[in-house]
């Protein structure tokens, strides 16, 4: 789009690094130098020129609403006609059912952002993965419930010590997902985020046995 229209692109500070250096996305998902099967347009976008929101050319009539969680510094936008564009904050019921576990970078921040979204007032809410709505209360609750259900599923699973690979296999099996290189990276990254959420909340612990890492519920 930038090549065709010469448009300006703006993003939050940390997000600009990912847009300028898109190699960071598969690197972050994989946790190391990503192999060739993770270096394609689905996970490795074309790099673009991007400016921070502090740039004087950013339209001052647009309100920036921080909603981190799905990504490091995801934001929503409010336009002068009181429409709020929620980005990937919410998923429709159909999307949640289809994918089972939607990508999240930081679970605690995601839950806080859902609480914040529930307090927003607007004439319309436009989401990337849900219909345009005038009221998002029920959809916010649905997304929040899904995240908490996933966290509880992992907590219950770890009542018996589990390796990460067994946890990931159980998540795929429980939601009828088909393992692929891309899904292994995306869902695997999200499951690690959930495990970090549970670990930081002191609900699971990490133990080593015969040089194998296990997750176990407290």
pLDDT digits (tens, 9 = 90+) for 103-114: 999 999 999 999
CA-closest candidate to residue 121, choices 143, 140, 136, 139: 136
Residue 85, CA distances (Å) to 120, 123, 164 in order: 11, 11, 36
Domain 59-217: top CATH class = alpha beta
pLDDT digits (tens, 9 = 90+) for 120-158: 999 999 999 999 999 999 999 999 999 999 999 999 999
At residue 217, the pLDDT reads 98
pLDDT digits (tens, 9 = 90+) for 40-83: 988 999 999 999 999 999 999 999 999 999 999 999 999 999 99
Instruction: Please state the domain extents for the chain.
Output: 59-217
pLDDT digits (tens, 9 = 90+) for 157-209: 999 999 999 999 999 999 999 999 999 999 999 999 999 999 999 999 999 99
At residue 111, the pLDDT reads 98
At residue 123, the pLDDT reads 98
pLDDT digits (tens, 9 = 90+) for 16-47: 999 999 999 999 999 999 999 999 988 999 99
């Amino acid at each position: 789009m930038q090549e065709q229209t010469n448009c300006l692109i703006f993003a939050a500070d940390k997000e600009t690094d990912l847009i300028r250096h898109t190699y960071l996305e598969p690197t972050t998902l994989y946790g190391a130098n990503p192999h060739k099967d993770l270096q394609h347009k689905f996970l490795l976008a074309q790099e673009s020129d991007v400016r921070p929101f502090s740039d004087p050319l950013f339209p001052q009539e647009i309100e920036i609403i921080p909603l981190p969680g799905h990504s490091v510094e995801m934001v929503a936008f409010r336009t002068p006609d009181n429409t709020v564009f929620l980005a990937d904050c919410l998923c429709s019921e159909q999307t949640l059912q289809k994918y089972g576990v939607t990508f999240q970078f930081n679970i605690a921040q995601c839950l806080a952002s859902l609480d914040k979204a529930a307090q927003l007032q607007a004439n319309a809410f436009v989401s990337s993965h849900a219909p345009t709505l005038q009221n998002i209360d029920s959809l916010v609750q649905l997304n929040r419930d899904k995240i908490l259900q996933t966290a509880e599923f992992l907590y219950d699973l770890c009542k018996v010590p589990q390796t990460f690979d067994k946890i990931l296999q159980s998540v795929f099996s429980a939601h009828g997902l088909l393992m692929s290189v891309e899904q292994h990276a995306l869902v695997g990254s999200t499951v690690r985020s959930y495990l970090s959420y549970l670990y930081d909340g002191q609900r699971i612990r990490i133990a080593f046995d015969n040089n194998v890492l296990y997750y176990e519920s407290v």
